[in-house]
């Protein structure tokens, strides 16, 4: 089940709320929220917008900035009246892990690789986890047993003329898989998955264990690459800078499968010479020579590329046009010598050569 939305004629100071109240009748299920992506439209340039927007005013898709300037807060919520009919009829149960300055573009990028909703049910006016973590069943289509999902959005008053005439089109959908006899659900929104366990080199003084899960999802406009750090329960997390000040994750991409790295996607929170000076820090793109894969300069993420970190997940959005119908990727994550290392590769992060490695992820849109 999915619904499509279009936001247009939105101005600084405008706000709203999207509310989803899924009901799964009779059988509890693993419930995923997801999106096939979003498309922005410039719709031409007004005279004030021309002073601050250099995209050229193409009226077609791809050049708008609206989704990047709408901030969102995502939460589990519940109705406060028996028959809710307006956004004010809902109150927050628990906010999800919303990063600072979380945008609609960030949310839709993350939803492209799917989000598994928590299994919560109400018990004595308290929301508690279900026994197996699945979303609870409703006895009929009129009874709400699990929590609703609320997305509050607003356009800060500080946003200028860059969004004049812009619009954004997107969809949000839900997919359920019966939890009975399905203890380990498959994410219906991803096209490729790879995993690797952390390892702790001798001499690193702050070890921890866990698994890195790489997820790739294609859409018409964007390829989403999400990396989930699934840590054990010792309270030390690979992607937490309070535990490891130099934690980082480079992702090497062979976009045309010629055997050499074309570029790296960089997340590095402690790179004073290369990444920190960039406006897109801690995210960056590192150029490589396509003929031999040799690494080059660190540069800003281009305007039509996206990146976001939410909790222990890092997601990049790469324009579909930057990748072939299939491509290769590998990773070599590090905590800067403080703790564990994790790699989906047999090469180091500076190796340009895919031809000598078999431990990479090969992804095809088919």
For the chain, the domains span 2-178, 192-364
Give 20-38 pLDDT, tens digit per residue: 999 999 889 999 999 998 9
Residues 196 and 2: their CA atoms lie apart, in Å, by 33
Mean pLDDT is lowest, of 183-187, 305-309, 355-359, for 355-359
Please name which of 276, 272, 254, 279 lies closest in space to residue 264, comparing C-alpha atoms: 254
Q: For the chain, give the mean pLDDT.
A: 87
Alpha helices in 85-202 (DSSP H): 104-112
Residues 189 and 185: their CA atoms lie apart, in Å, by 12
Residues 209 and 231: their CA atoms lie apart, in Å, by 6
The model's pTM is 0.89
Residues 8 and 6: their CA atoms lie apart, in Å, by 6
| Mean pLDDT in residue range 179-185 | 80
Give 99-142 pLDDT, tens digit per residue: 999 999 999 999 999 999 998 888 877 888 888 889 999 999 88
The pLDDT assigned to 44 comes to: 57
The pLDDT assigned to 50 comes to: 47
- Contact (Cβ atoms closer than 8 angstroms) between residue 38 and residue 110: no
Please name which of 213, 196, 227, 215 lies closest in space to residue 340, comparing C-alpha atoms: 196
Work out the burial of residue 139: count CB atoms within 10 Å of its CB; fewer than 13 is exposed, 13-18 middle, 19 or more buried.
exposed
Q: Which two tokens stand for residue 13?
A: 């100071």
Q: Which two tokens stand for residue 316?
A: 């990049």
Q: Which two tokens stand for residue 182?
A: 């399905």
Partners of 343 in the beta sheet? Answer: 332
Q: Which CATH architecture has domain 192-364?
A: Sandwich (2.60)
Residues 90 and 81: their CA atoms lie apart, in Å, by 8
Q: Which two tokens stand for residue 12?
A: 């600084």
Cα torsion 80, 81, 83, 84 to 10°: value is: -40
Residue 354 has pLDDT above 80, yes or no: no
Cα torsion 244, 246, 251, 252 to 10°: value is: -140
Work out the burial of residue 246: count CB atoms within 10 Å of its CB; fewer than 13 is exposed, 13-18 middle, 19 or more buried.
middle
Percentage of the chain beyond pLDDT 70 is 90
How big is the CA angle at 311 (ends 135 and 363), to the nearest 5 degrees? 80
């Amino acid at each position: 089940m999915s619904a499509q939305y279009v936001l247009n004629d939105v101005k600084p100071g405008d706000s709203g709320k999207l509310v989803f109240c899924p009901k799964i009748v009779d059988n509890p299920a693993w419930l995923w929220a997801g999106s096939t992506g979003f498309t922005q439209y410039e719709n031409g340039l007004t005279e004030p917008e021309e002073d601050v927007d250099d995209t050229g005013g193409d009226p077609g898709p791809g050049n708008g900035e609206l989704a990047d300037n709408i901030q969102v807060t995502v939460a589990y919520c519940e109705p406060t009246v028996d028959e809710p009919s307006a956004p004010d009829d809902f109150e927050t149960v628990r906010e999800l892990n919303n990063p600072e300055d979380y945008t609609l573009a960030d949310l839709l990028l993350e939803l492209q690789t799917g989000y598994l909703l928590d299994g919560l049910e109400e018990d004595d006016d308290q929301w508690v986890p279900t026994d197996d973590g699945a979303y609870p069943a409703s006895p009929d289509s009129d009874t709400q047993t699990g929590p609703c999902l609320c997305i509050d959005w607003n356009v800060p008053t500080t946003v200028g003329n860059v969004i004049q005439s812009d619009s954004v089109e997107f969809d949000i959908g839900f997919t359920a898989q019966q939890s009975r006899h399905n203890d380990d659900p498959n994410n219906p929104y991803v096209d490729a998955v790879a995993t690797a366990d952390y390892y702790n080199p001798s001499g690193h003084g702050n070890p921890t264990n866990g698994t890195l899960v790489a997820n790739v999802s294609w859409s018409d406009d964007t390829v989403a690459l999400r990396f989930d750090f699934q840590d054990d329960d010792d309270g030390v997390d690979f992607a937490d800078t309070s535990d490891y000040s130099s934690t980082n994750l480079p992702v090497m991409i062979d976009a045309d499968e010629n055997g050499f790295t074309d570029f790296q996607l960089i997340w590095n929170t402690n790179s004073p010479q290369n990444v920190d000076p960039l406006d897109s820090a801690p995210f960056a793109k590192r150029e490589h020579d396509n003929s031999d894969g040799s690494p080059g300069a660190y540069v800003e993420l281009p305007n039509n590329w996206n990146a976001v970190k939410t909790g222990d997940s890092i997601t990049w959005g790469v324009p579909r046009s930057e990748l072939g119908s299939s491509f290769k990727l590998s990773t070599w994550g590090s905590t800067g010598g403080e703790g564990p290392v994790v790699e989906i590769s047999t090469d180091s992060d500076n190796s340009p050569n895919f031809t000598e490695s078999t431990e990479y992820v090969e992804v095809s849109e088919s």
